[in-house]
C-alpha cells in the first residue's frame, strides 16, 4: 500500500501585464534618452548647487576675516606671544577647510546614492 499521492508540481510564473510599459531607468541613463538625460542633469544640478553653497560659506567666512582683523582690539591682541590674527589663520582656517571638505564629500555621496537608488531597476 502506498501513501497519499501528491499532485504533480506546477511552475507558476507571473505574467507581464499587457500594454504596461516597463521603465528601466538604468537603460535610459546608459542610452542617453530624454529621461536619462533629465536624470543626469538633475544629478549635475544637485552637485553644482551643493558646491556653490559650500563655496559661498568658505568665501563668506574667509572674506570676513579682513574685517575682523581690521578691528584694533583683535589686531593688537596677543596670545602666548603670537598675535590673534595669526592664530586664527594658523589654527582655525585649516580645520574649517577640512570640515567643509568632509561635509561636501558626505553630501555629494548622498546625492549620488539618491541618484543610484532612483536609477536602480
Return the pLDDT at 99. Answer: 94
Return the pLDDT at 100. Answer: 95
How far is residue 88's CA from residue 114's CA, in Å, rounded to a whole number? 38
Q: Select from 100, 3, 21, 92 the least CA-distant residue to 56.
A: 100
In this structure, what C-alpha cell is assigned to residue 99? 570640515
Q: Select from 99, 103, 101, 75 the least CA-distant residue to 88.
A: 75
Cβ contact 54:100 at 8 Å: yes
Tens of pLDDT, residue by residue, the chain (121 residues): 566 787 777 766 555 555 444 456 556 566 667 777 777 888 889 999 999 999 999 999 888 888 887 887 777 777 888 787 888 888 888 999 999 999 999 999 999 888 888 776 4
Pairing of strands 82-83, 78-79: antiparallel
Return the pLDDT at 108. Answer: 93
Cα angle at 38 between 50 and 19, to 5 degrees? 140
Amino acid at each position: 500500500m502506498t501513501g497519499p499521492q501528491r499532485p504533480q508540481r506546477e511552475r507558476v510564473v507571473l505574467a507581464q501585464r499587457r500594454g504596461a510599459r516597463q521603465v528601466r531607468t538604468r537603460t535610459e541613463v546608459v542610452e542617453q534618452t530624454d529621461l536619462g538625460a533629465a536624470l543626469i542633469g538633475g544629478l549635475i544640478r544637485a552637485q553644482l548647487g551643493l558646491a556653490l553653497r559650500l563655496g559661498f560659506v568658505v568665501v563668506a567666512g574667509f572674506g570676513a576675516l579682513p574685517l575682523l582683523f581690521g578691528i584694533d582690539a583683535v589686531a593688537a591682541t596677543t596670545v602666548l606671544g603670537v598675535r590673534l590674527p595669526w592664530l586664527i589663520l594658523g589654527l582655525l582656517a585649516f580645520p574649517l577647510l577640512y570640515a567643509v571638505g568632509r561635509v561636501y564629500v558626505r553630501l555629494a555621496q548622498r546625492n549620488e546614492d539618491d541618484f543610484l537608488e532612483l536609477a536602480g531597476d
